[in-house]
Amino acid sequence: MTSSDPHHDLPHALTDGLGVERAVPIGGGDTAAAFRLERAGEPLFAKTMSDPPAGMMAVEVAGLRALREHAPAVLGVPEVVRWTDRGIVLEWIEEDRGRPRPGAEAEFGRGLAQLHRTHGEAFGGLAPELPGRIGSFAVDLSPTPDWPAFLLERRIRPLMRQAVGAGRVAPRAAELLEELAPRARELAGSAEPPTLVHGDLWAGNRLVDVEGRNWLIDPSAYWGHREVDIAMMLLFGGFGEDCLAAYGAAHPLAPGWRERVPWYQLPPLLVHAVRFGGGYGDAVLRALLRLRG
């Protein structure tokens, strides 16, 4: 196998026996290198990290397999061809770079609603043998029946401490959070069963292929509350109103869900504040002020 970029050679264990003739670097994420693997049959996609956090790839693979098992036919999830602790090889998705075909947004909403009817026994990780991790961040994913406490104590408060400690978020944000903490159950919304969530559902982790089919990629899946995915979809945009309307028709959200969006957006905002700084710290503060009213 050859690579068009000698600085991004793939680990041999990831490609051996797959008939790969050439690895072409393509646009990847912030921390990973991505490749199109050319071969005689269908091309493949590979993602590698030089020094990933322990267990990160295992958690992603488990998420992909869980989503692939439970997603309806209209919602694709790429098959895991091979993986190691440093990378993943997946089936190739030929992405449509133009405008999605009519109906793709509504179809995605209905498909996600159906996926969100997949329920587990407790909130937390997909399997006890997996490390507690959502993306590159360590988190306690041990099973619990208490979703509001999970969200506050295992996600929001630890990330707030990390963000304030790193100087990425003003201490005033931590003070506002403590004002809101007694309302954690109200802010988490109506009680619902543990739901299989993608966990990082921004627009870049949803693809539409050349045939108009929607796909889910790069999950941080766990058993959570479905408003996790809805709030993430609204954080950076990229999902049309047809999508949300179709979702609501197929699996209506509890009243007041829009008012709860800032609470559910706090974890990703805090993660981005820790990683990137910039205006994310101010966005955290604005979300808290909206919740305080």
**CATH number, domain containing residue 189:** 3.90.1200.10
- For residue 47, being part of any structural domain is answered with no
The residues, ordered by sequence, that sit 6+ positions from 105 with a Cβ below 8 Å of its Cβ are: 239, 240, 242, 243, 246
Answer yes or no: 30 catalytic. no
Indicate the DSSP class of residue 10: P
- For residue 176, being part of any structural domain is answered with yes
Among candidate residues 5, 140, 146, 200, the one labeled active-site is 200
39 close to 80: Cβ distance less than 8 angstroms: no
Residues facing 32 on adjacent strands: none
Q: What pLDDT is attached to residue 99?
A: 67
- For residue 257, being part of any structural domain is answered with yes
pLDDT in tens, 202-255: 999 999 999 999 999 999 999 999 999 999 999 999 998 999 999 999 999 999
- Judged by average pLDDT, the poorest of 94-98, 99-103, 210-214 is 99-103
80 close to 217: Cβ distance less than 8 angstroms: no
- For residue 158, being part of any structural domain is answered with yes
Average pLDDT, the chain: 93
Work out how many domains the chain is built from and give that number. Answer: 1
- For residue 29, being part of any structural domain is answered with no
pLDDT in tens, 5-62: 433 568 888 999 999 999 999 976 667 899 999 999 899 999 999 888 889 999 999 9
Q: How far is CA 229 from its chain centroid?
A: 8
Q: Name the phi and psi angles at 202, rounded to 5.
A: -90, 170
Q: What pLDDT is attached to residue 200?
A: 96
- For residue 38, being part of any structural domain is answered with no
148 close to 191: Cβ distance less than 8 angstroms: no
- For residue 168, being part of any structural domain is answered with yes
What range does the domain containing 155 cover?
Answer: 98-293
The residues, ordered by sequence, that sit 6+ positions from 4 with a Cβ below 8 Å of its Cβ are: 22, 23, 24, 25
257: left (phi over 0), alpha (psi -120 to 50) or beta: alpha
Residues for the chain: how many in total? 293
- For residue 126, being part of any structural domain is answered with yes
Looking from the CA of 6 toward its CB, the CA atoms found within 13 Å total 0
Reported pTM: 0.94
